[in-house]
Amino acid sequence: MIRARRARIVATLGPASREASKVIELATAGADVFRVNFSHGTHADHAATIANVRAAEAAVGRPLAVLADLQGPKIRLGEFADRTVRLKPGQDFRLDTSHEPGDASRVGVPLVEVFAALAPGSDILLDDGRVRLKVRRCGPDFAETVVISGDQLSDHKGLNLPGHAIPVPALTPKDREDLAFALEQGVDWVALSFVQRASDMAELRQIVQGRAAVLAKIEKPAALEALDEILDLCEAVMVARGDLGVELNPEDVPVVQKALIRAARTRGIPVIVATQMLESMIHAPTPTRAEASDVAGAVYEGADAVMLSAETAAGEYPVEAVTIMNRILTRVELDPRWPELMAAEYPVEDADADALVAAAHRAAETASTACIAAFTTTGQTALRLARERPLQPTLALTPNLKTARKLALAWGVETRVVPALTDPEDLARVAVEQAVQTGLAAPGQRIIILAGLPMGSPGAANILRIAHTPRR
């Protein structure tokens, strides 16, 4: 099933959507990648969910990717004796390492690393910024603060330290268990939450060892300071606007989003824009006009994918949310001004593969060209083409199902699994057959072919050919 759009949709699966029939409905409506959130649910739940995605793949006739999203070191408060407390602006409030239930004067924080990052004058945000504290005095295991704003707290609410890198490991013991399980299940992408430094991604890559593609979630200001180094070590990036928006001023979030998209596009790695895209659809069958504009804006900026979270995981209208997002993406790409916004934002590199891909893009601009067929083992040639943002579809042909699923996240890439080829003379035949079968090419149209020699060896594309579909 070919989508009439280039941008991709990531749908989070949860209680409202993880059943087999619902996953098929979501894929049919346009979802390309399915996110499994390891912050919630059991391993048994996740195993069943992943199995349902694999079944849906066969039902819709195209590769679907599974994205395992690790919880990461989300810092949370301890518990209160009465579950909920009322605070007053101007009152004193203490944070410490005690496990004793809290009250309106204090609460425990289970990580001493939090206090190591504090100094007098530091801001502390609780419950996604609903409560703001200012540090008056602090030590290695406590912080005496004053309440600046907010009036209520309850058990296990999140804690953020704007502008501070907290010295906690990127992978918690829970994350390590979840990661081992996800890799056993054969997930296609692994997302690391709360990335702060390049070493966080290096640690993840060391564990994964190529068994899945790795993705950095940018949701800490510290990550922005080390962005280049982080991007060097990841294969995709997510603009996670939820926690990022807690620690940044609201007016800064759109600017950061645009900068992250531009940085990812320059490097040629997929970028996902996430959080609150169609949040009103958790309880409503249609989005607000502002939400539709937000989704459209990400597409105009050239994001590879947009993501639905609670809208599909726990919302009342999961299929409708994917359907309307698909409609928004498709409509934007019909805008006559959209093509000029997709122009590559980087100079052609000197590497042979990049020069060849740029040449393929230019050769494909004629009206008679139906698509660009890229034979790829690892997916790198297809990703290079995605960076170019060609207006013609890219048909990635690979003998590796794992590669095909990984490319479900890539902008404008339609992927099919084909037998491994050993004879270069077979390239044109297979490319034409697949382009016609998928409906990407009509009789008499031109197909641009990219491949690498020797056949079947991982490496960059080094040949460009032109083929034509038969005329009837």
Residue numbers of the domain that contains 147: 84-160
Do residue 237 and residue 323 come from a single domain? yes
Say whether both 400 and 444 belong to one domain. yes
Sheet holding 394-398, edge to edge: 413-417, 394-398, 369-375, 446-451, 463-468
Q: Which of 3, 54, 74, 76 is catalytic?
A: 76
Q: Structural domain tally of the chain?
A: 3
Q: Quickly count: other Cβ atoms within 10 Å of residue 21's Cβ.
A: 11
Domain boundary among 103, 137, 160: 160
Q: Rounded to whole angstroms, how far apart are CA atoms 327 and 310? A: 19
Tokens at 5, concatenated: 């759009």
Q: What is the CATH number of the domain that holds 16?
A: 3.20.20.60
**Pair type for strands 8-13 and 305-308:** parallel
Is residue 233 assigned to a domain?
Answer: yes
Q: What gap in Å lies between CA 193 and CA 173, rounded to an integer?
A: 14
In a domain, 51, yes or no: yes
**Residue of higher predicted confidence among 150 and 328:** 328
Per-residue confidence band for 286, with pLDDT thresholds at 50, 70 and 90: very high
| Same domain membership, residue 210 and residue 68 | yes
Note whether 380 and 326 are same-domain residues: no
174 and 156 share one domain: no
End-to-end CA distance of the chain: 24
* Residue 375 near residue 397 (C-beta atoms within 8 A): yes
Whether 259 is in a domain gets the answer: yes
What percent of the chain stands above pLDDT 90?
A: 73
Residue 71 has pLDDT above 60, yes or no: yes
Q: Which of 5, 217, 384, 406 is catalytic?
A: 217
Domain end, chosen from 122, 140, 160, is at 160
- CATH at 93: 2.40.33.10
Establish whether 366 is a catalytic residue: no
Is 402 a catalytic site residue? no
Q: Is 406 among the catalytic positions?
A: no
Closest alpha carbon to 43 in 185, 239, 249: 185
Separation between Cα atoms, residue 337 and residue 345, nearest integer Å: 16
Closest CA to 353 of 378, 328, 326, 319: 378
- Catalytic site residue 275? yes
Catalytic one of 8, 18, 35, 220: 35
In a domain, 345, yes or no: no
Residue 78 counted as domain residue:
no
**Residue 372, H or E segment:** strand 369-375
Q: Which of 67, 43, 45, 34 is nearest to 180 (CA)?
A: 43
- Whether 53 and 109 map to the same domain: the answer is no
The domain that contains 357 carries what CATH number?
A: 3.40.1380.20
Q: Are residues 114 and 29 in the same domain?
A: no
CA distance 167 to 173: 16
Residue 229 shares a structural domain with residue 90: no
Same-domain check for residues 97 and 238: no
pLDDT in tens, 261-281: 999 998 889 999 999 999 999
Interval 25-54: pLDDT, tens: 999 999 999 999 998 899 999 999 999 999
Whether residue 430 is contained in a domain is answered as yes
Angle at CA of residue 467, ends 418 and 415, nearest 5°: 30
CA 345, chain centre distance (Å): 21
Residues 253, 287, single domain; the answer is yes
Please indicate, yes or no, if residue 409 is contained in any of the structural domains: yes
- Bridge partners for 124 per DSSP: 133
Biggest distance spanned by C-alpha atoms of the chain = 82
Over residues 303-317, the pLDDT tens digits come to 999 999 999 999 999
State mean pLDDT over 55-69: 96
Could you tell me the CA-to-CA distances from 170 to 2, 99, 156, 173, 234 in Å, in that order? 38, 24, 20, 10, 14
Question: Do 286 and 387 sit in the same domain of this protein?
Answer: no
Rg (CA), the chain: 24
